[in-house]
A and B are shown apart, each in its own frame.
Chain A
């Protein structure tokens, strides 16, 4: 079946970087845009950016420009999201999502905790 499986929880110190992965299966990886969305504890959803696996083009939320990098590996049907210069406000659950004219398939989420 179509699914997105994300990497495990991370704990990082302020100023560090984190790189999350999201492995797709059950569909043609290069045919759909992919997004990252995060959710701080008890808060709403925030769009972070997107990548098109066919070619690797990206678009990032202005708020995160300069700190976020999204990449993909077509050989393993995996996308990655790296966030640098982490601060406490980056503590959140991070989701990868498939875009099929709507966000139709969501990963299980990866918790990132930024704490000294």
Chain B
């Protein structure tokens, strides 16, 4: 199975400051159809996960534009341009390739 490795696992941030989370896959995520099905999810405390970004860099409906995704191949990044209080939670990258779906370990974002 493809292993997804996130860094850091804990990210204390100051309100209004940027934040960045890295996700690396153990093999290329380029699907046979040419797409790269790398997504980012946010899980606020006590809630189900919520889709933020799909296919590397596409923001899902209703997601604020302070969230952005980038990367290619095996290295991907989620950036928050200016962290707000409501951004506290755990962020997961996930991949869908070759009929397998795997998640990163999660990165806990908290306010300093």
Binding site for B on A (CB under 8 A): 35, 44-47, 50, 59, 62, 95, 99, 101-104, 106-109
Contacts of A103 in B (CB 8 A): 39, 41, 49, 51, 94
CA distance in complex: A54, B62 (Å): 29
Chain A contact residues, majority secondary structure: strand
Is the CB of B44 closer than 8 A to any CB of chain A? no
Query: With A45-B103, A47-B101, A47-B103 known to touch, is A102 a contact of B55 (CB < 8 Å)?
Result: yes
Query: With A44-B106, A47-B101, A47-B103 known to touch, is A102 a contact of B48 (CB < 8 Å)?
Result: no
Closest to A49 in B: B101
Please determine whether A46 and B103 come into contact, CB atoms closer than 8 angstroms: yes
Query: With A103-B49, A103-B51, A109-B48 known to touch, is A45 a contact of B94 (CB < 8 Å)?
Result: yes
Please determine whether A95 and B48 come into contact, CB atoms closer than 8 angstroms: yes
B 92-112 to A, binary, CB cutoff 8 A, 1 in contact else 0: 101010011111111000000
Closest to B61 in A: A104
Please determine whether A102 and B37 come into contact, CB atoms closer than 8 angstroms: yes
CA distance in complex: A107, B1 (Å): 26
Please determine whether B54 and A45 come into contact, CB atoms closer than 8 angstroms: no
CB-defined A-B contacts under 8 Å, sample of 30: A44-B92, A44-B103, A44-B105, A44-B106, A45-B41, A45-B94, A45-B106, A46-B103, A47-B102, A47-B103, A50-B101, A62-B1, A95-B49, A99-B96, A101-B35, A101-B54, A102-B37, A102-B51, A102-B55, A102-B96, A103-B41, A103-B49, A103-B51, A103-B94, A104-B51, A104-B60, A106-B48, A106-B49, A107-B48, A109-B48
